[in-house]
Structure 1
Amino acid sequence: MAMNLVHQLCCRSSYWERTSATRIVPWALGGVELGDSALEVGPGYGANVGTLRERTAALTGLEIDPALAARLRDRRSDQLRVLEGDGTAMPLPDKEFSSVVCFTMLHHVPSPAQQDALFAEAFRVLRPEGVFAGSDGLDSRLFRLIHLGDTCVPVPPATLAERLSGIGFTDIEIGTAANQFRFRARRP
């Protein structure tokens, strides 16, 4: 996963944390209960930690970037357990979480096959009736411009329901807004 300098500065800004807390996470999780134990895949700089902690008793973050994982441990260890690892091969036991979430990070997964591996891993670590939910950006010229020099493989929302059902998820809902989409799915 690579992010250009402008993208890094944006993602660690207080502006982004406010935007995530007041717009992205509430829209993505509207009506979704996270249960007692949530996993955030790709927490990055931790913009969603405070908002997610208000929705669950226990929060774990799985971060692939060692420097970001260390930063999260230093700054947010009182709010979440931080693990370093790859969302496509999670170092976690089966059926550990009541929910798995990810926000504005799926496009940083380098290929559709690896995105599908992440979806399969989310399914594996969810308990029965657990929810997989989140959001990501819609592909556009501006989206691509912001991501120049980044790993950027947008997820087409039109194909996401089929991809998730192929893994075994049910109760799949996909919604779109001006520049983003959200998804919700359940492990039966």
Structure 2
Amino acid sequence: MAMNLCHRLCCGSEFWAKTVERQLLPWALADVPLGDNTLEIGPGYGANLRVLAERSAKYTAVEIDAALARRLQSKYGDLARIIHGDGADTGLATADFSSVVCFTMMHHVPTPPLQDQLFAEAFRVLQPGGVFAGSDGVDSIPFRIAHFRDTCNPLHPAQLPDRLARAGFVDIDVEVQRGEQRWRAVKP
């Protein structure tokens, strides 16, 4: 995962943390039951984690970037279990989580096959009836400019339902609003 300096500064800022808390998460998780054991894939700088860790009795975060995983451990290790690992191959127990979430990070997964592998892993670790929910940006010129020299492989909202269905999910809902997309899907 590569992020340019401006992108890293934005994602680590208090402004972004407040945007996540006040706008992104309320929209992305409206009417989504997290249950008592949540996995977040790709928490990055922890803006989502700091809000959501208290909404679930057990919260686990898997972060692929070693430096960010160490940072998360030092800041949020008392609120969540932090794992340095790959969200597409977590090594976590099958059917252990009531929910899996990821926010504004899928475009950093370098290829569609790796994204599909991440969807399959989310499905694998979910309990039956568990929900996979998240959000990401929608491809546009401003989105591409913000990701100059980043790993940037945006999800296409029109293709996302089929991709989630291929992973095994049902009750799939994808919505686009103001340059963002959110999804929720259920493991039968």
Alignment TM-score, normalising by the size of structure 1: 0.99
Task: Give the total of aligned pairs.
Answer: 188
**What does residue 143 of structure 1 align with?**
143
Q: Matched residues in 1 for 2:58 and 2:77: separation?
A: 12
Q: Is the 8 A contact 1:37 1:57 kept in 2?
A: yes
Shift of 1:54: 3.4
Confirm or deny that 1:181 pairs with 2:184.
no
Confirm or deny that 1:45 pairs with 2:45.
yes
Secondary structure of the residue aligned to 2:34 is coil
Shift of 1:66: 0.3
Q: Which amino acid aligns with 1:120?
A: A
**What does residue 5 of structure 1 align with?**
5
Shift of 1:78: 1.2
**What does residue 159 of structure 1 align with?**
159
Q: Matched residues in 1 for 2:50 and 2:139: separation?
A: 28
**What does residue 58 of structure 1 align with?**
58
Q: Which amino acid aligns with 2:112?
A: P
Q: Which moved more, 1:52-61 or 1:69-78?
A: 52-61
Q: Matched residues in 1 for 2:42 and 2:68: separation?
A: 10
Q: Is the 8 A contact 1:33 1:55 kept in 2?
A: no
Shift of 1:55: 2.1
Secondary structure of the residue aligned to 2:130 is strand
Confirm or deny that 1:36 pairs with 2:36.
yes
Secondary structure of the residue aligned to 1:59 is strand
Secondary structure of the residue aligned to 1:173 is strand
Q: Is the 8 A contact 2:54 2:79 kept in 1?
A: no
Q: Which amino acid aligns with 1:114?
A: L
Q: Which amino acid aligns with 2:186?
A: R
RMSD over aligned Cα, in angstroms? 0.7
Q: Matched residues in 2 for 1:101 and 1:141: separation?
A: 26
Confirm or deny that 1:132 pairs with 2:132.
yes
Q: Structure 2: where are the runs of 5+ without partners?
A: none
